[in-house]
Amino acid sequence: MLTALKSLFGRNRKDDADHSPFVRELRAIVGAQHVLTDPSRTLPFRRGFRFGLGKALAVVHPGSLVEQWRVVQACIKADKIVLMQAANTGITGGSTPDGNDYDRDIVIISGMRLKKIFVIGGGKQVICLPGATLDQLERTLAPLGREPHSVIGSSCIGAAVFGGVSNNSGGALVQRGPAFTQMSIFAQADAQGTLHLVNHLGVELGTGPEEILGALDRGQVPESRINWHAGKGHDDNYATHVRDVDADTPARYNADPARLFEGAGCAGRMALFAVRLDTFPAERNPSVFYIGTNNPDELEEIRRHILTSFSELPIAGEYIHRDAFDIAEEYGKDTFLIIRAIGTRRLPMLFALKNRIDRLTERVPFLPGNMSDRLLQAFSRLFPRHLPRRMYEYRDRFEHHLMLKVSAHLASEARTFLDGFCAKSGTRYFACTPDEGARAFLHRFAAAGAAIRYRSTHHRTVEDIVALDVALRRNDRQWSETLPSDLDRRLIVKLYYGHFLCHVMHQDYIVRKGNPCPPIEAEMLALLDRRGARYPAEHNYGHLYAAPPSLQAHYRELDPCNCFNPGIGKTTKRRNWKAESVA
């Protein structure tokens, strides 16, 4: 017990698991305290937020871009696999090892010490380094009356800007589409294993890699050296694209070739050092309408009218099913309360504390697993109901819930439409107060982690979670899923929520104990294939989905030696893309 306590609370303790020349080289580059090899200390970086777990030789925390370059150089020279990791909040295991069947040692390079953000063009654009978080970016831009691509959703759990760009994360804001940029600095290894730094940031920073990265480390980005026509900083065609409700293709999905460009959608197949992104004018005094119905067809009619007839697009349109409402209300309550109390800025610190508690309790034989989840769940039960009364009333009356957020000058148009629509249908709505609107959206985003909590606290009855991230066709009127009875009886509960106006749905299936998940997932995906849906929609392939041939070709072009994050999209984990079946 004493040993476990020392391991839990000790800081900067020297790891003794590996004293190889390679690990000593890493320590010489970044400092011994920033290279972890003890498995108990590397676990939070080796285990995904939802899925993924495997061995790693070391976890390295560079303190500058030059240090990151030198670490990547050392790894490639020593024939190590490089996993670039930001906040590790992804849900498909895409930034952690997946099992222990790799043919080389893995080094995880965490960028979370590199949190700098440089505001350029009076706040119209930003340059972000690897550890910059969405919450940090939002706070940086707020005094300028600007906001980033995503301001709700992933920002609630401390996600990093790089994660969104690398994974084509879509976010909830309808006008902006997936996170996208054509401007970045990155390193690639060629087929011979030689590392190259590429500066497509559109900023003159020097010539050699260390000169370029050193200048950026120091924030030397004078506007006289910026090319304002270097490329796109967001998907500026998405607002038109999403309005085409009769198109037979999804609005957005991860394998869309139109939204794959170098670092954008790279899925860790290169080492990103900086990205340059557009920002947007902040909406002032938006209105939120809470809509309830028992008829999914009516919700689809609302979607189609909004996208084709409104004078401008809403800010967001978020859907949640009654069952997901209930699970989030009980198992996402602590997340809701913590964010309401302290915001998102301190969430990474709380996640780190949670991981430490789990590391300690996992070493004590008589304590149950997932102790931190159990404690947080017990903590949440001490508090009264946390949602507005009118939301609970709609939960009792309606199966389907839509939260529509619009700008102040679109509010009257939205209200007029909803009044007319509700007068001739079974749908109803209420206009939220600012507090009700904030609580409604936070509740919707607490649903994303609620399934994980349910699994942790019901391990005796839950086999696991099948989590799907689905892009429906824009013209698909039958968006609400009905599963075959044989499949449905193997599930405890189905959680449906998502970005409804974009037809992007998150579908979490909590599987009953004794039912293997892979066959269930295969059946689910076959059903989606028959519907013409694409998956994943915005969380990238990770180790859960098989990448189609076109995307595999894209990965091979980015990473011909298969040195960066091999195995993503269920591709081969072996050097130089050698087939797994080849001896």
Whether residue 95 is annotated as binding a ligand: the answer is: yes
Sequence-distant (≥ 6) Cβ neighbours of residue 258 within 8 angstroms:
none
**Contact status, residue 45 vs residue 85, Cβ threshold 8 Å:** yes
Most distant CA pair in the chain: distance in Å? 75
Backbone angles phi, psi at 422, to 5 degrees: -70, -25
C-alpha 131/C-alpha 101 separation (Å) is 29
449 annotated among ligand-binding-site residues = no
Query: Any known ligand binding at 86?
Result: yes
Question: 203: which strand partners?
Answer: 226
* DSSP per residue, 555-572: HHHH-TT--BSTTGGG--
- Comparing C-alpha atoms, which of 258, 261, 266 is closest to residue 230? 261
**What is the C-alpha separation between 576 and 563, in angstroms, rounded?**
8
Could you identify the residue written with the tokens 């949640």? Answer: 320
| 261: helix, strand or coil | strand
Task: Give the DSSP letter of residue 157.
Answer: G
Look at residue 351 and give its three-state secondary structure.
helix
90 appears as a binding residue in the annotation: yes
Is residue 569 within 8 A of residue 94, CB to CB? The reply is no
Is residue 272 a known part of a binding site? yes
CA–CA gap between residue 43 and residue 52 (Å, rounded): 11
Residue 485 exposed, middle or buried by CB count within 10 Å (0-12, 13-18, 19+):
exposed
* The dihedral sign for the CA sequence 92, 97, 100, 104: positive
94 marked as part of a ligand binding site: yes
Q: Helix %, strand %, coil % for the chain, to 5? A: 40, 20, 40
Q: Cα(104)–Cα(572) distance, rounded to whole angstroms?
A: 13
Per the annotation, does 63 bind a ligand?
Answer: no
Is residue 491 classed exposed, middle or buried when 0-12, 13-18 and 19+ CB atoms within 10 A define those classes?
middle
* DSSP assignment letter at 202: S
Q: Is 471 annotated as a binding residue?
A: no
Q: Which amino acid type is present at position 38?
A: D
Q: How far is CA 213 from the centre of its chain?
A: 27
Q: Which of 403, 405, 385 is nearest to 326 (CA)?
A: 385
Task: Point out the annotated binding site for FAD.
Answer: 86-90, 94-95, 153, 170, 267, 272
Task: Point out the annotated binding site.
Answer: 86-90, 94-95, 153, 170, 267, 272
